[in-house]
Amino acid sequence: MNSRKVLPETRRIFPATKVHCQQPSQILIVDVTAPCWTNTCSVLSEALENTLCLACSVTGPCRIPLLSLYVVQSNPECLLPFTQVRENFARIQACISELRSLPREGSFLHGGSGVVQAAQDGLQQFKQYSRHTAAGGSANGSVEITVLTGRSSREMVKQLEETLKDIDVVSLRRIQIIEVLKRDFLDPEDTEQCVPAEEPSSSDIAVLGMDIDVQTVEDNVISLEMVFKSWLHDYGTEREHLHLLLPSGSFGHASAPKTTLMCLKCDLQERLLDPALLSGTVDGTVKAADLNSRCQMAAWPATVLCKLWVVKALKAEGVCESVLYGLPFIIKPTTCWQLDWDELEINQHSFHALCHSLLKRKWLLLARREPQNASPNWNIMVHSYYVIVPSNSATLLVKAVAIRELLLPSAFPALLTEHPERVRGPIESALNSLEVEVTYNPLHLKSNLYKYLKSMLYKPLHRQPAQPRDLRQERHQPKQQQSRARAAVAPLLMAPSPAPAFRSAVARRGSCEPSPLPKE
């Protein structure tokens, strides 16, 4: 899809506060009054469940600290008050099952300002939750709102702008409005690029010092998964992650010493999740990765500034794949809000010029990284080396490269030029029978990892005796109408603010049959 994202200058007006947990909490608002809800319901539920089973399974710092889920029907209601994602997959799974069983298309009238009401209540709940956790010594300082709808986002953006300008949004990092459309409703130029799309088309609208990010995605599991998986990235902009240091050369610096360095300030982004970080493994042999490994490019999230000194250039055809190892990381020009706007712009142009020049010359870069912490023998520093690879996009790829101490002897016999026909014939026949793809697309391969992780996380909730409808309705009522005893034993189940009184979806559904679970 076409990307129209821009970096608004107003982003730096309201910097995010540094807190113990850098990742933002998430408020998901699902508009079920949209015309295509019948088609979207099952794929949305599956995509959300798949992403959250990953978030619950990955070790290391928490990637989604808290999650709250709202649905907008005739009126908004909170299906899941703010809940810690880790150790609560069974509860989240029960909430997704309730989302699946909502009545389908035509059951609800358009709620109008329901999305705005849900956003207001979610921010109020987060404010109350933050006060509660701050008193206990922990903190979650920022929150993001994601709205999923099948309707046009223009009117929704106007309503959010009008409403949010009158309330405290210091803790609000970003608002995403995701328009989920059928393929028939996508623009022809978008359709060609979104089967399936890793990056949805988007545009940013700067308001109140943060972004309203409008995206358009197709209503399939993979596209929606990519939306939710963006929550797993480290999007912290408090500081840059990486300094790429190059010799300044002699251009414009005739009298400059050779030790002068040009510094490109960059951010690091994971290309894929490290399988070793998933708790529990299919074969039972992989253990959690050591985040303090000397050969690790960057622990997640990037808490320490990494410096790479470029020591020489390499011809692209002269690097053997067998000496590259470890997970790749993507290098991008930084978006750190603490940098001056002019510095950000110059840094970005310099980064693009570097990518272009490397492609033109067909070069790779060899870089050395010095450890941040000294070894037990304080006078010995162990260096690690990396290869930096250009691409056709405004990004670089960095991978660890083997050094002398790690390399093992290997024999590579020469390839025979002639072979007996009785051997060559069967091989040629076998190769001719294979399907050939021009490019490798990992989205076409499944390993049953989601099924495995869900089975590992599955812990059935204790069933409670059935309650009359009038008692079940209490679950989504404001805090003042609940018993003090229940509020004392369940501090995480913060009730919505007194503004809207949300009604229970269960009470309204009556005898509606639940929809079948989507097939894996």
Q: Which fold has domain 304-372+382-409?
A: Ku70; Chain: A; Domain 2 (2.40.290)
Residue 261's pLDDT band, with cuts at 50, 70 and 90, is: confident
User: What's residue 151's pLDDT?
Assistant: 81
- Please indicate whether residue 490 or residue 395 has the higher confidence score (pLDDT): 395
**Whole-angstrom distance, CA of residue 518 vs CA of residue 497:** 34
- pLDDT above 90: residue 266: yes
pLDDT > 70 fraction of the chain, expressed in percent and rounded:
67
Q: What is the dihedral of CA 164, 167, 172, 178, to 10 degrees?
A: -20
> Which residues, including other chains, have CB under 8 Å from residue 272's CB and lie 6 or more apart?
327, 328
User: What's residue 36's pLDDT?
Assistant: 75
pTM for this model (two decimals)? 0.76
Q: What is the dihedral of CA 19, 20, 21, 24, to 10 degrees?
A: -10
User: What's residue 140's pLDDT?
Assistant: 61
| The pair of three-digit structure tokens given for residue 488, joined into one six-digit string | 């004392």
Strand 324-333 and strand 396-401: pairing?
antiparallel
- Strand order, beta sheet including 210-218: 3-4, 201-207, 210-218, 172-181, 143-149, 25-31, 66-72, 76-84
Domain with CATH 3.40.50.410 in the chain: 25-184+206-231
Q: Under a CB-based contact definition with an 8 Å cutoff, are residues 140 and 131 in contact?
A: no
User: What's residue 432's pLDDT?
Assistant: 95
Strand 143-149 and strand 25-31: pairing?
parallel
Domain with CATH 2.40.290.10 in the chain: 304-372+382-409
177: left (phi over 0), alpha (psi -120 to 50) or beta: beta
- pLDDT above 90: residue 3: no
- Residues β-bridged to residue 306: 242
Q: How far is CA 212 from CA 174, 267, 300, 514, in A?
A: 6, 22, 26, 34
**Whole-angstrom distance, CA of residue 365 vs CA of residue 386:** 8
pLDDT > 90 fraction of the chain, expressed in percent and rounded:
43
The answer to which of 33-42, 101-110, 193-202, 455-464 has the lowest mean pLDDT is 193-202
- Please indicate whether residue 207 or residue 498 has the higher confidence score (pLDDT): 207
Q: What mean pLDDT is reported for the chain?
A: 76
**Whole-angstrom distance, CA of residue 4 vs CA of residue 349:** 18
Angle formed by the axes of helices 37-57 and 221-229, to 10°? Answer: 40
Mean pLDDT across the stretch 462-477? Answer: 50
User: For the domain 25-184+206-231, what is the CATH superfamily, name and number?
Assistant: von Willebrand factor, type A domain (3.40.50.410)
- pLDDT above 60: residue 442: yes
- Please indicate whether residue 8 or residue 421 has the higher confidence score (pLDDT): 421
The answer to which of 405-414, 451-460, 484-493 has the lowest mean pLDDT is 484-493
- pLDDT above 90: residue 130: no
| The pair of three-digit structure tokens given for residue 142, joined into one six-digit string | 């920022």
**Whole-angstrom distance, CA of residue 378 vs CA of residue 128:** 48
pLDDT digit string (tens) for 283-329?
Answer: 433 343 443 344 455 545 666 789 999 999 999 999 999 999 999 99
**Whole-angstrom distance, CA of residue 26 vs CA of residue 55:** 12
pLDDT digit string (tens) for 136-185?
Answer: 555 567 899 999 988 877 888 888 888 777 777 778 888 999 999 876 54
User: What's residue 91's pLDDT?
Assistant: 94
- pLDDT above 50: residue 427: yes
**Whole-angstrom distance, CA of residue 77 vs CA of residue 85:** 20
CB half-sphere exposure, 204, CA atoms < 13 A:
16
**Whole-angstrom distance, CA of residue 451 vs CA of residue 415:** 43
Q: Under a CB-based contact definition with an 8 Å cutoff, are residues 163 and 120 in contact?
A: yes
Geometric angle at alpha carbon 95, from 59 and 272, rounded to 5°: 30
pLDDT digit string (tens) for 345-390?
Answer: 999 999 999 999 999 999 999 999 977 665 566 677 888 999 999 9
